[in-house]
Structure 1
Amino acid sequence: MKLFISADIEGVTGVTSWSETTLGKSDATPFIKQMEKEVSAVIESAYEKGFTEVVIKDAHDTGRNLDINLFPEHVNVIRGWSGHPLSMIEGIDNSFDAIAFIGYHSAASKGTSPLSHTLHVSKLNSIIINGELASEFLIFYYAGLYLGIPTVFVSGDKGLCEEVNRVNDNIITVSTKEGMGKATINENPKKVLNNVKDAFGGLVFSKDRFMGKLPEFFDVEISFKNPSLAYWAGFYPGAEQINDTTIKYNTKNYMDVLTLFSFLVKE
């Protein structure tokens, strides 16, 4: 079986400040190591569950955070960004059996993480899909469903895990911390690693069990912090500016949604 892992850092235990997420800053070093450990914990348990091929997308910032020397020979790592609309799960195809999201975080405008954002840290107020505030998890969970691949595991902050459970309560979640204003209440790093191993180790995989239903229509609203960006984005084919900071876009094809994000809200 083949497992695709998308790894972010803002949902890794301990991470509280933006300086702790930036490659090259001394603050970030221990947290990148913890990111690597949380990914490795999934890989270890996944292999025991019969996943003999694993691909990791380093999906944070530069996409060049993970030390590829740390992983077993059956693991490939995608570094950097090709520009493909699949973005945080770029490299995936329908040969994969399952997706795991590691170190994910609450959506932009949510108060459940001091690092809450969606796709772009400074550009957006929010992304709403079919009336629901969209996190990066939701965006790429839908992308997996579009390709016929279910999500089986998510780790990240408590607010994100609660969202995952609302979206599909069959998905296994591990909470790493809880946001409190600009602060975080963190699980012990060793405890998180044990929880990840135990949770994934308890996986009883069935594609039908984990597969959710992709909506048939997508009503998307993107709210920008700068009104001039909303004016500019309103010229995207099919988009319409509906107020000073917001555009809307409607489609039946989810790849159109991902392409919209790729052009209008990428870092």
Structure 2
Amino acid sequence: MFVSVDMEGVSGLTDPEEMRAPGRGYERGCELMTADANAAVRAAYDAGADTVVVTDAHGMGRNLRADLIDRRCTLVRGPYKPMRMAEGLDASFDVALYVGYHARAGTPRGVLNHTWMGREIHNVYLNGEVAGEIRLMAAYAGTLGVPVGLVAGDQAACDEAREVLGDVATVAVKKGSDRYAAELVPPARAQEMIYEGTRRALADPARWRGCTVPAPYTLGIEWSSTAIAQSCAVIPGVKQAGPRVTEFTTSDYAEIVGLLGVCATIGGEIGCTGLHYD
């Protein structure tokens, strides 16, 4: 069983400062992220899983507490993982679970909504359709023949998951009133909900949902900056499709996921220089 854990959709968190070091509340955010992950891992083992691989899918991948994670799982952690949010996933897994996920950029009342990067990217498109991280990761799992069994996060993320995957099991741990404000389920109860939701989902494989995207795959990224778009267009195979838009087409979806990571590295370097740019 594969569990990908992001942070913006974790129970109890609403503030960008809680998402990154050394922000106020970040260390506590890491504990809450690990507790949400553990709820899903414990449910997976209680449902009969032999192996559970958990990947830290947020930022630089240094958020899940290795000293607090369920000792039975395998933890994939650290920066610059080739498959980023999907590192560790392959065709041998029966099902993928997404915990702590959030809605795509621009989603009304989506808590901490964004796609891949919060400031540098306006929108991402997959084969011409707007795509958030749920669609992007579910599509990668789909190319491997791995269905999605559960998505846990804020209410907008759960709505997006059903839009992408149909009647997939979801657990909403908060409901956004704005991008940085939400009605929260207290974490202790939210983690019980994740556990129970995961147990029910794993007991009902008929509700697991695959995401099928036809090849070839075209990834379009609408950047906030002409400088980022121009720099990413230097990557072989990437073309500039507008002043702030890049596109890349391939028959191997793993290249889509890998390219997102490379572009994010470039975008982060340019966006964080402190310079003013268009």
**Partner SS, residue 66 of structure 1:** coil
Aligned match of 1:99: 96
Aligned match of 1:189: 187
Range moving further from structure 2, 255-264 or 202-211: 202-211
- Cα separation, partners in 2 of 1:78 and 1:95, compared to 1, 3 Å: same
Aligned match of 2:261: 262
**Partner SS, residue 80 of structure 1:** coil
Matches within 5 A, 1:205-216: 205-206=204-205, 209-216=208-215
Q: Report if the CA contact (8 A) 1:97-1:207 is conserved.
A: no
Q: Distance in 2 between matches of 1:30 and 1:265?
A: 26
Range moving further from structure 2, 151-160 or 213-222: 213-222
Matches within 5 A, 1:162-173: 162-173=159-170
Give the CA RMSD over aligned residues: 2.1
Structure 2 unaligned spans of 5+: 269-278
How many residue pairs end up in the alignment?
A: 264
Q: Distance in 2 between matches of 1:207 and 1:252?
A: 29
Q: Distance in 1 between matches of 2:104 and 2:208?
A: 26
Q: CA deviation at 1:41?
A: 0.9
Aligned match of 1:44: 42
Aligned match of 2:252: 253
- 1:91-143 per-residue CA deviation (whole Å, 9 max, x = no partner) reads 22222221111101111232332421222222211111123221122111111
Residue identity matched to 1:103: G
Aligned match of 2:230: 231
Q: CA deviation at 1:149?
A: 1.4
Residue identity matched to 1:259: G
Q: CA deviation at 1:154?
A: 0.9
Aligned match of 1:129: 126
- 1:168-202 per-residue CA deviation (whole Å, 9 max, x = no partner) reads 12421111212223322222223312211221111
- Cα separation, partners in 2 of 1:81 and 1:188, compared to 1, 3 Å: same
> Please, which of 79, 82, 99 is the counterpart of residue 81 of structure 1?
79
Range moving further from structure 2, 199-208 or 159-168: 199-208
Q: Report if the CA contact (8 A) 1:158-1:178 is conserved.
A: yes
- Cα separation, partners in 2 of 1:215 and 1:208, compared to 1, 3 Å: farther
Q: Report if the CA contact (8 A) 2:17-2:23 is conserved.
A: yes
Q: CA deviation at 1:82?
A: 4.4
- 1:34-92 per-residue CA deviation (whole Å, 9 max, x = no partner) reads 211111111111111111211111122231222223334421111102441x1112122
Range moving further from structure 2, 8-17 or 70-79: 70-79
1:198 aligns with 2:196: yes
- 1:225-251 per-residue CA deviation (whole Å, 9 max, x = no partner) reads 111111222333333322221122233
Structure 1 unaligned spans of 5+: none
Between the aligned residues of both structures, percent identity stands at 26
**Partner SS, residue 69 of structure 1:** coil
TM-score by length of 1: 0.90
